[in-house]
Structure 1
Amino acid sequence: MQNRILSVDIFRGATILLMVLVNTPGTWTNVYAPFRHAEWHGYTPTDLVFPFFLFIVGTSIVFSYRNKEVNSNTYKKIIVRTLKLIGLGLFLGAFIIEFPFFKAWENIRFPGVLQRIGVVFFFASILFINFKWKTLVGIAIGLLVGYWLLMTLVPVDGVASTLERAPNNFANWLDVKVFGSHNYKPDYDPEGLLSTIPSIVSSLLGIFTGLILVSKQEKKATLLMGIGGSLLIIGHLWDLVFPINKALWTSSFVLVTAGWANLILALIYYLTDVKQIKFGSIFRYAGANAIIIYFLSSFIAKVMGQIQVGDTSLHGWLFQKIYVHDAISMEMSSLLYGLTVLAFYAFLGYVLYQRKIFFKV
Structure 2
Amino acid sequence: MVQKRLLSLDFLRGLIMVLLALEAAGLYHVLNGAAEGSWWHNITIQFDHHQWNGLRFWDLIQPGFMFIAGTAMAYSLHKQQQNGVPWSQSFRKALKRSGWLFFWGVLDYAVRKTGLSFELWDVLTQLSFTLLVAFLIFRFSISTQMIICVGILLLTEILYRFTNVPGFDQPFTDQHNFGNYVDLLLMNKINGGGWVAINCIPTAVHTIAGALAGKLLLSEHAKKVKPLLLWGIICLIAGFGLDWLHITPIIKRIATTSFTLASLGWCLLALAACYWWIDMRNHRKHLLFFTVVGMNSIFIYLFFEIVGHRWFNDYVAAVTNGLMGMAHFPGFLMDLVTCLTIFGLEWGLCYFLYKKKIFFRL
What is the one-letter code of the residue matched to 2:242?
A: W
- CA deviation profile, 1:116-162 (whole Å, cap 9, x unmatched): 12122122112214x22211111001101221222123212177423
What is the one-letter code of the residue matched to 1:18?
A: L
Report 1:1-361 matches (<5 A): 5-25=6-26, 31=32, 32-67=44-79, 68=81, 69-95=85-111, 104-105=115-116, 107-129=117-139, 131-157=140-166, 160-167=169-176, 169-181=177-189, 185-186=191-192, 188=194, 190=195, 192-240=196-244, 241-279=247-285, 280-304=287-311, 314=315, 317=318, 321=322, 330=332, 337-361=338-362
Residues 155/211 of structure 1: CA separation in 2 closer, same or farther (3 Å cut): same
The equivalent of 1:310 in structure 2 is none
Residues 210/339 of structure 1: CA separation in 2 closer, same or farther (3 Å cut): farther
The answer on whether the counterparts of 1:235 and 1:255 sit within 8 Å (CA) in structure 2 is yes
- Where does the alignment leave 5 or more consecutive residues of structure 2 unmatched? 33-43
The answer on whether the counterparts of 1:3 and 1:273 sit within 8 Å (CA) in structure 2 is no
Offset, 1:202: 0.9
What is the one-letter code of the residue matched to 2:344?
A: A
- Looking at structure 1, the residues matched to 20 and 134 of structure 2 have their Cα atoms a distance apart, in angstroms, of 22
The answer on whether the counterparts of 1:173 and 1:187 sit within 8 Å (CA) in structure 2 is no
Q: SS of the counterpart of 1:128? A: coil
Which contiguous aligned blocks of 4+ residues in structure 1 show a shift greater than 6 angstroms? 322-329
Residues 83/160 of structure 1: CA separation in 2 closer, same or farther (3 Å cut): closer
Q: SS of the counterpart of 1:164? A: coil
- Looking at structure 2, the residues matched to 322 and 244 of structure 1 have their Cα atoms a distance apart, in angstroms, of 46
- Looking at structure 2, the residues matched to 323 and 226 of structure 1 have their Cα atoms a distance apart, in angstroms, of 52
What is the one-letter code of the residue matched to 1:154?
A: T
- Looking at structure 2, the residues matched to 149 and 57 of structure 1 have their Cα atoms a distance apart, in angstroms, of 27
What is the one-letter code of the residue matched to 1:350?
A: Y
- Where does the alignment leave 5 or more consecutive residues of structure 1 unmatched? 308-312
What is the one-letter code of the residue matched to 2:88?
A: S
The answer on whether the counterparts of 1:10 and 1:287 sit within 8 Å (CA) in structure 2 is yes
Q: Between the two proteins, what is the percent identity of the paired residues? A: 26
Offset, 1:28: 5.0
Residues 302/149 of structure 1: CA separation in 2 closer, same or farther (3 Å cut): same
What is the one-letter code of the residue matched to 1:277?
A: H
The answer on whether the counterparts of 1:26 and 1:333 sit within 8 Å (CA) in structure 2 is no
- Looking at structure 2, the residues matched to 186 and 193 of structure 1 have their Cα atoms a distance apart, in angstroms, of 13
> Is 65-74 or 233-242 further displaced after alignment?
65-74
Q: C-alpha root-mean-square deviation of aligned residues, in Å? A: 2.9
Using the size of structure 2 for normalisation, the TM-score is: 0.84
- CA deviation profile, 1:80-121 (whole Å, cap 9, x unmatched): 11111111122222236x8xxxx634x343431221121221
What is the one-letter code of the residue matched to 1:43?
A: L
> Is 156-165 or 321-330 further displaced after alignment?
321-330
Using the size of structure 1 for normalisation, the TM-score is: 0.84
- Looking at structure 1, the residues matched to 290 and 21 of structure 2 have their Cα atoms a distance apart, in angstroms, of 13
Q: SS of the counterpart of 1:239? A: helix
- Looking at structure 2, the residues matched to 221 and 337 of structure 1 have their Cα atoms a distance apart, in angstroms, of 41
Offset, 1:321: 4.7
What is the one-letter code of the residue matched to 1:290?
A: S
- CA deviation profile, 1:192-240 (whole Å, cap 9, x unmatched): 3322100111101111211111111223223322221221111111223
- Looking at structure 2, the residues matched to 237 and 326 of structure 1 have their Cα atoms a distance apart, in angstroms, of 53
What is the one-letter code of the residue matched to 2:19?
A: L
What is the one-letter code of the residue matched to 2:220?
A: K
- Looking at structure 1, the residues matched to 63 and 324 of structure 2 have their Cα atoms a distance apart, in angstroms, of 31
Residues 147/315 of structure 1: CA separation in 2 closer, same or farther (3 Å cut): farther
